């Protein structure tokens, strides 16, 4: 639940200088950095940019996100989903590995950041809920599979071209499996086994860092690069240069849709982490403030010539598990990245790229959750359909996976509109307890040839007035001798002008046919609308009843039936 009383910027700085907090934040910051450094290198590879872009993204943007966001333990930096979206968005516009490609990645960081800042300033964070959970789960499952499969060429040491059809590219890799580089496969599989072992048997150990250190040493000892293996290579030491991102009007226009999608998806990822943190720590957070913080972090990434960033679920969970108290933990993590950039970049030269591919694969395995799609289907068939179609569309559109999420959003909104247009309508009968219930569900007999009753479960607005009208007219058709139609109105929580106009016309029509239209259990806000518009007077105050029992008894008495 979002809370408005999130700490201010000054509060966050002040909280960090409590002695006990500093000790916990120091441990947490160092712990997270041991994971953040190798992950940043891997996610830069996933985004299609040089490895040091990942380290730059884990430096200044991490500090900016921590200080200007609202969640104290949220760790900002490179993440798998945003990196994949970045590569998918830029690849159609520029050749992979070109200066233009890198410039567009930086520009995309700026555009997505501006979108998020605008969302936060306009306080429209709640509108991001239009991305439903089933759609998000369908997208994440498909994207996680795409991320994992996209690392196969690197893991196998196969040079593979990238086309507009991702699944075809993967098939080509499998078809050319005989050309794989055996030593690259050995490094990749070794990394996977080591990462799995650490996760299974020593989850508190810095397994990613140990794996990277050992296999980088082995790579240097075996001269893996000299034997045809691909390594990270030279990483420039020192701080990133701060300058205005490269601006290109035509490229900006082309990247706007991608910037919007990255702003949306990356914030959903950050928001899910922030919600978990808020529940665990009972600390307040504010979605609009977090939007601004995450947006500023992306803009900072653009100004230090890096890639789009987001709140990391895995590193935030580690931050929380390490008992981080304030945003100071993220600042300390960034300081550790800075030390790596200043003094340890030479040690990264022989880091095998298949090892980075293994890190990415292990990171996204936890994102695959088909149970969430099954649960969505069990809860509501429309939600299940939206999740499945989003999943299939994301795979089908790959590498342009942003089209998959757009398809899912449009479909879920269309299904929502369809449900609003056709709310549940039930013909009623008298239950053994004396209440009016769904006659079909409970197997109840009709009330009486002269009396019909129905229940409408939904707001009566312009999108469904014709459906409501048809339901009432069907009561007239199904009961040729009906003299009164009772509408059980407890499920109607809103009434607009279209609904009022429709009801006025129906009252006139039914009255000319000798039929009385009555209502029971009207909500106060609906009754007020009817009163202001003169609808109560037209229906007749004597035909408005507080309860179903009162309505049924009075109508039976008037018609002299039982």
Q: In this predicted model, what pLDDT tens digit does every residue of 6-27 receive, in sequence order?
A: 455 555 555 545 666 788 888 8
Backbone phi and psi for residue 428, each to the nearest 5 degrees, phi listed first: -110, 150
Q: What is the pLDDT of residue 128?
A: 64
Q: What is the pLDDT of residue 333?
A: 92
Cα 253 to Cα 466: distance, rounded to the nearest angstrom: 42
**Three-state DSSP class for residue 543:** helix
CATH superfamily membership of 424-559? STAS domain (3.30.750.24)
pLDDT in tens, 261-304: 899 888 887 887 777 777 777 777 788 888 999 999 999 999 99
pTM of model > 0.85: no
Place of tokens 């516009």: 93
Classify residue 247 as left (phi > 0), alpha (psi -120 to 50) or beta: beta
Q: What is the pLDDT of residue 139?
A: 84
From the centroid of its chain, how far is CA 254? 23
The tokens describing 68, both together, are 């200007």
Counting runs of H as helices and runs of E as strands, what totals does the chain give?
25, 8
Contact 560, 528 (CB under 8 A): no
The tokens describing 174, both together, are 């499998």
The highest-confidence range among 4-13, 110-119, 236-245, 350-359, by mean pLDDT, is: 110-119
Contact partners, residue 72, CB within 8 Å, separation at least 6: 7, 12, 15, 277, 281, 283, 324, 325, 326, 327
Q: What is the pLDDT of residue 562?
A: 64
Cα 362 to Cα 46: distance, rounded to the nearest angstrom: 13
Q: How many CB atoms lie within 10 A of CB 186?
A: 18
Q: What is the pLDDT of residue 7?
A: 52
- pLDDT bucket at 371, cuts 50 / 70 / 90: confident
| Percent residues over pLDDT 70 in the chain | 94
Q: What is the pLDDT of residue 115?
A: 95
**Three-state SS annotation for 13-54:** HHHCCCHHHHHHHHHHHHHHHHHHHHHHHHHHHHHCCCHHHH
pLDDT at 369 over 80: yes
Cα 541 to Cα 518: distance, rounded to the nearest angstrom: 9
The tokens describing 224, both together, are 């893996």
pLDDT at 129 over 80: no
Q: What is the pLDDT of residue 309?
A: 95
pLDDT in tens, 152-205: 888 888 876 666 667 777 787 787 788 888 999 999 999 999 999 998 898 878
**Three-state SS annotation for 452-509:** EEEEEECCECCCCHHHHHHHHHHHHHHCCCCCEEEEECCCCCCECHHHHHHHHHHHHH
Q: What is the pLDDT of residue 30?
A: 87
Enter the DSSP assignment of 542: G
**What burial class does residue 228 get, using C-beta atoms within 10 Å of its C-beta: 0-12 exposed, 13-18 middle, 19+ buried?**
exposed
pLDDT at 2 over 50: no
pLDDT at 259 over 60: yes
Q: How many CB atoms lie within 10 A of CB 282?
A: 8
Q: What is the pLDDT of residue 323?
A: 79
| Torsion angle in degrees (nearest 10) through CA of 191, 195, 201, 202 | 110
Q: How many CB atoms lie within 10 A of CB 19?
A: 6
- pLDDT bucket at 222, cuts 50 / 70 / 90: very high
Using CA atoms, how far residue 494 sits from 457, 460, 497, 536, in Å, is: 11, 6, 10, 15
Cα 546 to Cα 520: distance, rounded to the nearest angstrom: 6
Place of tokens 């977090």: 290
Cα 388 to Cα 368: distance, rounded to the nearest angstrom: 14
Cα 408 to Cα 132: distance, rounded to the nearest angstrom: 9
- DSSP H stretches of helix in 204-348: 207-222, 249-281, 287-303, 313-321, 328-343
Contact 225, 219 (CB under 8 A): yes
The tokens describing 117, both together, are 């800042």
Cα 390 to Cα 407: distance, rounded to the nearest angstrom: 6
pLDDT in tens, 20-55: 678 888 888 888 888 888 889 889 988 999 989 999
The tokens describing 113, both together, are 């950041």
Cα 242 to Cα 224: distance, rounded to the nearest angstrom: 35
The tokens describing 198, both together, are 């650490």
Q: What is the pLDDT of residue 80?
A: 85
- 305-340: b (≥16 Cβ within 10 Å) or e: bbbbbbbbbbbbbbbbebebbbbbbbbbbbbbbbeb
Domain ranges of the chain: 9-128+182-366, 424-559
Candidates 419, 409, 497, 428; CA nearest to 458 is 419
| Torsion angle in degrees (nearest 10) through CA of 390, 395, 397, 402 | 60
């Amino acid at each position: 639940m979002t809370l408005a009383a999130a700490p201010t910027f000054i509060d966050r700085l002040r909280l960090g200088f409590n002695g006990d907090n500093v000790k916990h934040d120091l441990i947490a910051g160092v712990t997270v950095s041991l994971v953040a450094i190798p992950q940043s290198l891997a996610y830069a590879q996933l985004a299609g940019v040089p490895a040091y872009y990942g380290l730059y993204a884990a430096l200044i943007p991490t500090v900016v996100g921590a200080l200007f966001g609202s969640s104290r333990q949220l760790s900002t930096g490179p993440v798998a989903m945003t990196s994949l979206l970045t590569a998918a968005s830029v690849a159609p516009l520029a050749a992979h590995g070109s200066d233009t490609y890198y410039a567009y990645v930086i520009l995309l960081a700026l555009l997505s950041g501006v979108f998020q800042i605008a969302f936060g300033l306009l306080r429209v964070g709640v509108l991001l809920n239009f991305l439903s959970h089933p759609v998000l789960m369908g997208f994440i499952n498909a994207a996680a599979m795409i991320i994992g499969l996209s690392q196969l060429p690197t893991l196998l040491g196969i040079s593979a071209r990238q086309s507009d059809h991702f699944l075809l590219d993967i098939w080509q890799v499998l078809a050319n499996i005989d050309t794989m580089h055996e030593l690259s496969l050995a490094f990749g599989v070794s990394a996977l086994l080591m990462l799995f072992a650490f996760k299974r048997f020593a989850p508190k150990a810095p397994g990613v860092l140990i794996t990277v250190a050992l296999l980088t040493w082995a790579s240097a000892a075996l001269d893996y690069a000299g034997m045809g293996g691909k390594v990270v290579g030279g990483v420039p030491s020192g701080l990133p240069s701060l300058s205005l991102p490269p601006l290109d009007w035509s490229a900006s226009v082309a990247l706007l849709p991608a910037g919007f999608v990255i702003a949306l998806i990356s914030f959903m990822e950050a928001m899910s982490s922030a919600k978990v943190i808020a529940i665990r720590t009972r600390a307040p957070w504010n979605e609009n403030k977090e939007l601004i913080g995450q947006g500023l972090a992306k803009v900072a990434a653009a100004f230090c010539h890096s890639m789009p960033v987001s709140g990391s679920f895995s590193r935030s969970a580690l931050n929380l598990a390490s008992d981080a108290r304030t945003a100071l933990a993220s600042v300390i993590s960034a300081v550790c990245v800075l030390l790596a950039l200043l003094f340890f970049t030479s040690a990264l030269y022989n880091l095998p790229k298949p090892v980075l591919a293994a890190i990415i694969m292990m990171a996204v395995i936890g994102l695959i959750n088909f149970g969430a799609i099954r649960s969505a289907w069990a809860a509501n068939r429309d939600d299940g359909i939206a999740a499945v179609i989003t999943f299939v569309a994301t795979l089908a559109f790959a590498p342009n996976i942003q089209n998959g999420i757009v398809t899912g959003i449009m479909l879920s909104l269309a299904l929502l509109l369809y449900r609003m247009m056709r709310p549940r309508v039930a013909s009623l009968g008298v239950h053994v307890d004396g209440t009016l219930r769904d006659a079909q569900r409970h197997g109840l007999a009709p009330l009486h040839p002269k009396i019909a009753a129905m229940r409408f479960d939904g707001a009566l607005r312009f999108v469904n007035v014709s459906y409501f009208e048809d339901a009432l007219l069907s009561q007239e058709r199904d009961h040729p001798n009906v003299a009164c139609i009772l509408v059980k109105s407890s499920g109607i929580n809103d009434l607009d002008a279209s609904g009022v106009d429709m009801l006025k016309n129906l009252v006139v029509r039914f009255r000319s046919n000798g039929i009385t239209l009555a209502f029971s259990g009207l909500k106060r806000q609906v009754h007020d609308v009817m009163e202001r518009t003169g609808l109560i007077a037209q229906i007749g105050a004597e035909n408005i009843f507080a309860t179903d029992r009162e309505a049924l008894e009075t109508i039976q008495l008037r018609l002299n039936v039982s």
